[in-house]
Amino acid sequence: MAVQVVQAVQAVHLESDAFLVCLNHALSTEKEEVMGLCIGELNDDVRSDSKFTYTGTEMRTVAEKMDTIRIVHIHSVIILRRSDKRKDRVEISPEQLSAASTEAEISLLIH
């Protein structure tokens, strides 16, 4: 049985528009928590120059990960509304999460 590990990401590339949306959202309130969803893709660049992208978490054996560079490319952001109005809580409705997930999948097809 092979040992499975999760390799850390070496870099995150955040497009300038996505950064500005995150910054504006973070600075929109001084006393409340905020929540958003970053949309992008994870590129595994193997030394043989073959590339592929996928969403989600993927497990591989240690041998498969030895010569891989993992970079996350974030190209857009979805701002989420809070369903709980208490200042120390950040919760969103299941409907909003489902809609954001659908929008993220569509966005990945476009990019």
Q: What is the pLDDT of residues 59-85, one digit of tens each?
A: 444 444 445 688 999 999 988 887 777
Q: Which helix (H) or strand (E) holds 13?
A: strand 11-14
Query: 47 to each of 44, 59, 64, 67, how far by Cα in Å?
Result: 10, 19, 12, 6
DSSP 77-106: EEE---S--STT-----HHHHHHHHHHHHH
The predicted structure's pLDDT at residue 61: 43
pLDDT grade for 13, boundaries at 50, 70 and 90? very high
State the average pLDDT for the chain.
76
Separation CA 5–CA 61 (nearest Å): 6
Q: How many CA atoms lie within 13 A of 99 on its CB side?
A: 10
CB 75 within 8 A of CB 40: yes
Residue range 80-106, pLDDT digits in tens: 887 777 777 778 888 988 998 898 888
Tokens read off for 6: 């999760």
Q: Which residues contact 35 (CB under 8 A, 6 or more apart)?
A: 80, 82, 90, 92
